[in-house]
Structure 1
Amino acid sequence: MRQILWFRRDLRVEDSALLENAKDEVLPIFIFDKNILGKLPKDDKRVTFIYKSVLSLKSKLKNLGLDLAIFYGEPKEIFSKLKKLEIDEILCSIDFDSYAKKRDKEIEELLPLRRFIDSFILNPQEHLKSDGTPYKVFTPFYKSLNTITQADSIALRKRNKTITLVDFDYKNFPTLEGLGFEESILPESLYKEPLELLSLFSLKLENYQENRDYFHKDATSKLSVHLRFGLISPSMVFNYIKRFSNSEFFIRELFWREFYNYILFHFPNSQAENFNGLDIKWNENEENFIKWCEGYTGVPIIDAAMKHLNETGTMHNRLRMIVASFLTKNLFIDWKKGEEYFALKLLDYEASSNIGSWQWGASTGADAAPYFRVFNPYSQSKKFDEKGIFIKSVLKELKDIETKLFHIENGVQSNLFVNYPKAIVDINFSRKRAIEKFKEAKK
């Protein structure tokens, strides 16, 4: 038996479905996919992080007596060549977004492809309602998983220690520059190992439920990028956090990620269509969309959040909800445009979670916010950043502004000594307009 172990978004040796199911001779590989990289800007921070993580995986595999062959190209072309090595099958983790399904179908025409649920805890084909249909609402979905969520731990996969390495050239692989990218400086958390981040987060767990919404506080786990690319498995995160008595709220958050993957699997059209089927006539004001993207809306919390995203590739979850509500309700611009922009910028971009979250904010998705729930960005910034700590850290030109002005519509603009653009939309008017348009769509 000769197998290719195709690492993709499971860049680890612990709790690895590939290493558990590997047999006899193996060729571990990673492919920097031209079809994906070709759409990214040359300074995309994710590529730096993935490249660093792939080299780390190679080192860890070598410590186990294995290695990693690293390729750059189109998967179909690469597997056409590898097929000549008398390969019996390919083992890989499964993805449910449209590109992944199309890519895997092409590869399966060349070689048998055996897929594993390795990026999530749940198999979305399971855990259906009693009538055999999938859940569409999170709370009953979560309650149905009681035997899992209330367990002390989830069994982890064990490595097959009897496998041997296929003779191959493992020494030659592309540089980051050879991929066409520049090395980027990453957020500090991305230079830490996942278990170190978990250890630090455990100290904050007691106050997590209360503090997680305050985006100027260091209250979150910072694990989203590591989970996205599989440097740690969700089961490992579950087991670590479950040791603490106050773990329930974080565990629930972990299963929101599972829920969105479950929804994308059962309703693949939701990647490009409103999940609830509403036919909404969105505003097509491109100028306002660009101002939202670049952080020039005249609303301090929106502008700070978007400029911070553009600079760092990160955004706090509360801020994601605020900017999504502003785009889809106040500007009444299609959620898909926001989703696509986040896909370009977010270090932790994951199709299922991003699509699900945007449809939640736009009131078009599974178990979404009701259409009449429109976040007021000024009251949100007052509630969660009253002293303007986050806003001032990003919008340096406003560092001397009286803080209360951040939380008043066009308040900053009332200061004659500051050149700050007028808000591009009236909050109350746009809120009423959004509600009326949703009512029309529902009819």
Structure 2
Amino acid sequence: MKQILWFRRDLRVTNSALLSKAKDEVMPIFIFDTDILNSLDKEDKRVSFIYKSVLSLKKQLKALGLDLAIFYGKPIEIFSKLKPLGFDEILCSCDFDDYAKKRDEQVDKIITLRRYSDSYIIKPWNALKKDGTPYKVFTPFYKNLSFIWESDALEEFEVNKDLKLITYDYEQVASLESMGFDEVELPSFLNKTAHELIEEFSSKIEDYEEQRDIFYKSATSSLAVHLRFGLISSVEVFNKIKKLKGANIEFFIRELFWREFYNYILFHFPKSEFENFNGLEVSWNQNEEDFERWCEGKTGVPLIDAAMIHFNKTGTMHNRLRMIVSSFLTKNLLIDWKKGERYFASKLLDYDASSNIGSWQWAASTGADSVPYFRIFNPYTQSAKFDKEGLFIKSVIPELKDVDPKLFHKEGALANSLFVDYIKPIVSIELSRKRALEAFKGAKNEKA
């Protein structure tokens, strides 16, 4: 048996389905996929992070007596060149977004693919209702999985220690520069391992439920990027968090299962990647200038602007801020969620297709178990509630650092101040809310 172990979103040697299920002769590989890379900016932080992580994986595999062949190009071309070496199959993890499925179908025609669902806790094809149909609402989906989240620990894969490395030139590794990318400085949390982040989070988890919405505080786990690229598996995170014990453990575990739910929805409803999940036909605002001002953080709404400026600079955004800016785009500006989803996809460090699509559809009231269309976040009351002193806004927009924070929480107050030169709000919160309600009521009537 000769197998290719194709590492993709599972850049680890612990709890690895590939290293557990592999037999006999193996060739571990990673592909810097030009079909993906060619659409990215040369300073994309994710590429620097993945590159660093791939080199780390190579080192970890060497410690197991294996290695990692690193390729740059189109997967179908690379596997076409590897096929004459006589491989029986390719082992890899599952991916359910449209590009990944089409890519895998093409590769499977060259060398047989055997896929494992080890990027998530559950196998989405198993967690069904009694009538055999998939859940569309999170709470019953979660309750049905109580036998999992009530467990003290979940079984992890063990490495098969009898694997033999196939002879190949493993030393040839393309540089970032040769692939057309600059090496960029990463946020400090990405220089820490997932295990270090969990250790830090262990001292904060008791306050997690209360503190997680305060966006100027570092109260979350910061594990999303590591989970996205599989430097740690969701099963390992589950097991490590469960060992901490405490009242707020389940609250965090529940949040972990929202990630499972969105992957589950994408698997069962693949069209939701491109269409409104609930079939609503909304008359979206087509004003491109409105969208560009949102992207650039020039809406005239301090919290929205600060969130987007910070996002454009760092590729990160606090979860509550994600809800607020997506609500503002889809409800106050009445712009199609798909435009916001694509913009986030272009920059978000922890971009994961299923979670990003699911979250945007949730905010737009078009998705599975989404927020009711009449629930629209008011960015002014949100900033007053979760950042009364305006610490986040002041940290992002230097020209506002000496401004009375009360001006951040009142619509148009900055633009009307004699002491601050700030742009006028792009829309009226009250009028835009009414417009959104009318648009969504009309959409519901169309489908009635």
TM-score band by shorter chain is: over 0.9
Q: How does 1:50-61 map to 2 (within 5 A)?
A: 50-61=50-61
Separation in 2, partners of 1:411, 1:346:
31
- Matched residue count: 443
Q: Is 2:416 the partner of 1:408?
A: no
Q: Is 2:21 the partner of 1:4?
A: no
**Comparing 91-100 with 410-419, which one deviates more in the overlay?**
410-419
Separation in 1, partners of 2:246, 2:200:
16
Q: How does 1:65-84 map to 2 (within 5 A)?
A: 65-84=65-84
Separation in 1, partners of 2:202, 2:368:
31
Task: Give 1:245 deviation, angstroms.
Answer: 2.1
Separation in 2, partners of 1:337, 1:297:
16
Task: Give 1:415 deviation, angstroms.
Answer: 2.0
Alignment-mate amino acid for residue 375 of structure 1: F
Match of 1:391 in 2: 393
Consecutive unaligned residues of structure 1, counting only runs of 5 or more, are none
Separation in 1, partners of 2:276, 2:225:
27
Match of 2:228 in 1: 228
Corresponding residue SS for 1:390: helix
Q: How does 1:176-325 map to 2 (within 5 A)?
A: 176-243=176-243, 244-246=245-247, 247-325=249-327
Separation in 1, partners of 2:62, 2:424:
58
Alignment-mate amino acid for residue 275 of structure 2: E
Match of 1:429 in 2: 431
Match of 1:144 in 2: 144
Could you tell me the TM-score, scaled by structure 2's length?
0.98
Match of 1:172 in 2: 172
Separation in 2, partners of 1:9, 1:64:
20
Alignment-mate amino acid for residue 50 of structure 1: I
Separation in 2, partners of 1:176, 1:347:
18
Deviations 1:411-435 (A, max 9, x none): 1112223221100000000001101
Does structure 1 conserve the Cα–Cα contact (< 8 Å) formed by 2:415 and 2:421?
yes
Q: Is 2:118 the partner of 1:118?
A: yes
Corresponding residue SS for 2:90: strand
Q: Is 2:360 the partner of 1:327?
A: no
Alignment-mate amino acid for residue 345 of structure 1: K
Aligned-pair identity (%) = 67
Match of 2:421 in 1: 419
Separation in 2, partners of 1:118, 1:167:
27
Does structure 1 conserve the Cα–Cα contact (< 8 Å) formed by 2:329 and 2:335?
yes
Does structure 1 conserve the Cα–Cα contact (< 8 Å) formed by 2:380 and 2:410?
yes
Corresponding residue SS for 2:415: helix
Could you tell me the TM-score, scaled by structure 1's length?
1.00
Match of 1:438 in 2: 440
Does structure 1 conserve the Cα–Cα contact (< 8 Å) formed by 2:119 and 2:233?
yes
Corresponding residue SS for 2:127: coil
Runs of 4+ off more than 3 Å: none
Separation in 1, partners of 2:357, 2:169:
40
Corresponding residue SS for 1:280: coil
Match of 1:365 in 2: 367
Separation in 1, partners of 2:24, 2:131:
42
Alignment-mate amino acid for residue 67 of structure 1: D
Match of 1:346 in 2: 348
Task: Give 1:173 deviation, angstroms.
Answer: 1.0
The root-mean-square deviation of aligned C-alpha atoms, in Å, is 0.5
Match of 2:42 in 1: 42
Separation in 2, partners of 1:6, 1:353:
23
Corresponding residue SS for 2:72: strand
Deviations 1:392-429 (A, max 9, x none): 00011111111100000011112223221100000000
Separation in 1, partners of 2:333, 2:418:
27
Alignment-mate amino acid for residue 41 of structure 1: D
Separation in 1, partners of 2:417, 2:397:
15
Alignment-mate amino acid for residue 395 of structure 1: I
Q: How does 1:4-43 map to 2 (within 5 A)?
A: 4-43=4-43
Separation in 1, partners of 2:268, 2:386:
36
Corresponding residue SS for 1:127: coil
Separation in 2, partners of 1:391, 1:60:
41
Task: Give 1:171 deviation, angstroms.
Answer: 0.4
Task: Give 1:381 deviation, angstroms.
Answer: 0.4
Separation in 2, partners of 1:411, 1:13:
54
Separation in 1, partners of 2:118, 2:177:
30
Corresponding residue SS for 1:412: coil
Corresponding residue SS for 1:104: helix
Separation in 1, partners of 2:439, 2:314:
35
Separation in 1, partners of 2:307, 2:186:
18
Separation in 2, partners of 1:48, 1:318:
27
